[in-house]
């Protein structure tokens, strides 16, 4: 499950990197916070 989420985040990141970096960062931060908890 965790690996799948990480893969999804990375894929989304590579795609959204060119579009919006701030939005991506927010999503990544949210995922990171969820993983920590």
What are the pLDDT digits (tens) for 11-24?
877 776 656 778 77
7 C-beta neighbours (distance < 10 Å), count:
10
Contacts of 9 (CB under 8 A, 6+ apart): 27, 28, 31
Token output for 30: 């949210």
Counted domains in the chain: 1
- What percent of the chain has a predicted confidence (pLDDT) above 90? 3
What pLDDT, on the 0 to 100 scale, is given for residue 15? 72
Is residue 9 predicted with pLDDT exceeding 60?
yes
pTM above 0.75, yes or no: no
Classify residue 17 by its DSSP letter. Answer: T
Question: What is the H or E stretch that residue 37 is in?
Answer: none
Token output for 18: 């060119």
Q: What is the mean pLDDT of the segment spanning 30-36?
A: 85
**Domain membership of residue 14 as a residue range:** 2-36
């Amino acid at each position: 499950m965790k690996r799948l989420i990480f893969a999804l985040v990375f894929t989304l990141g590579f795609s959204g990197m060119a579009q919006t970096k701030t939005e991506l960062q927010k999503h990544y931060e949210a995922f990171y916070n969820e993983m920590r908890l």
